[in-house]
Amino acid sequence: VESIIKTREEKGKYSSFTDFLDKSELVACNKRVIESLIKAGGFDSLGNTRLSMIQVHEDAVEAVVPLKRQEAMGQFDLFGFGGDDDAEASVSSSPLAHLKFGEEEYPRKQLLAYEREMLGLYVSAHPLDGAERILRKHAPRPIAAILADPPKEGELVVSGLITSLERRVNKKGEPWAICTIEDMDASLEVLYFPKSYAMFSADLIEDNAVLVKGRVNWREDKMSIFGGGLVPLDLSEVGNGDDDLPLVLLAAAEKIDQSVVSELKQTLLAHKGETPVHLKLVGKNQTVFALYDYPVKVTSMLIGELKGIPGIAAST
């Protein structure tokens, strides 16, 4: 990191992936370092997809490392050109001139999984962005709401991502697991003991979106769930703009006035996207309006803002 910052300060901002390799010191031109930076999104501002850079990074490092070693020993500059007149020749003679970058990118799920693997958190987006309605359809209460007012006993249904998984074996040699289920705002620990684990182990995979049903358990003032059911959720189409299902907003007719309409309009405009919005006016009669000019990107933030508008609720 210190080398990358030092080089940037001495030679100027990096203008491309190849420019980074050109300018960098030998210590930064390491396959593992470059791969980690790519997966973490460190090169996102330089114009290539993460997948295209992963596909060429090994060849690129192998091409520049021998020259970097000689340069480090003071034998010559990397491309061996000293003046601006030679800039064109320098580019064409670069050991990286043969690199071809494609346009394909990792699937969204894989892209974000690599981010979390490298950094321990999601940065560019969250895998559940836009999936709020799907999660709430199966599990009406988000995890944060459950933790804010936790039940002392009984059964619970939660939905989210499996963000960590620890497999164990009991004294009888039977496998079981502890997993963390996380939604947009909070997480909860779920324990699958041998009998349940045998039934659901195939779907207990990190980064899987799942619906979990189980029994509330308390230990030392910490709540967890003894898992008794698990269903994978398909979020593959979320965020791709292919989902034509509208976001249906319920509006109490007696509470609708100019201020509510104005606030709703501003909220929808602040979350522009591809999902159509329908407004169902509920009173003596029900009337549905298609708000063609206000498509949105459905996120937990949008749902939260809509809940704050008097008389408006998102249908699940």
Predicted local confidence at residue 93, as pLDDT: 59
Give the model confidence (pLDDT) of 25-61 as tens digits.
888 888 999 999 999 999 998 889 999 999 999 999 9
Query: Measured between alpha carbons, how far is 56 from 53 in angstroms, rounded to an integer?
Result: 5
Per DSSP, the three-state class of 6 is: helix
Query: Measured between alpha carbons, how far is 212 from 232 in angstroms, rounded to an integer?
Result: 9
> Is the per-residue pLDDT at 308 higher than 90?
no
Q: Whose CA is closest to 192, among 243, 228, 222, 160?
A: 228
Task: Give the confidence band of 225 by pLDDT, cuts at 50, 70, 90.
Answer: very high
> Which H helix or E strand runs over 179?
strand 175-182
Sign, Cα dihedral of 195, 198, 204, 210: negative
> Is the per-residue pLDDT at 239 higher than 70?
no
Q: Whose CA is closest to 96, among 58, 64, 69, 68?
A: 64
Query: Measured between alpha carbons, how far is 287 from 294 in angstroms, rounded to an integer?
Result: 18
Q: Whose CA is closest to 247, among 294, 211, 185?
A: 294
Residue range 287-291: average pLDDT? 81
Q: CA triplet 183, 188, 192: central angle to 5 degrees?
A: 115
Q: Indicate whether this model's pTM tops 0.85.
A: no
> Is the per-residue pLDDT at 173 higher than 90?
yes
Q: Name the residue type at position 292.
A: Y
Residue range 214-242: average pLDDT? 81
> Is the per-residue pLDDT at 3 higher than 70?
yes
Residue range 295-311: average pLDDT? 83
Predicted local confidence at residue 66, as pLDDT: 86
Give the model confidence (pLDDT) of 117-150 as tens digits.
899 888 887 778 777 777 887 788 889 889 999 9
Query: Measured between alpha carbons, how far is 79 from 91 in angstroms, rounded to an integer?
Result: 9
Predicted local confidence at residue 242, as pLDDT: 42
Reported as half-sphere exposure (CB side, CA atoms, 13 A), residue 206 has a value of 11
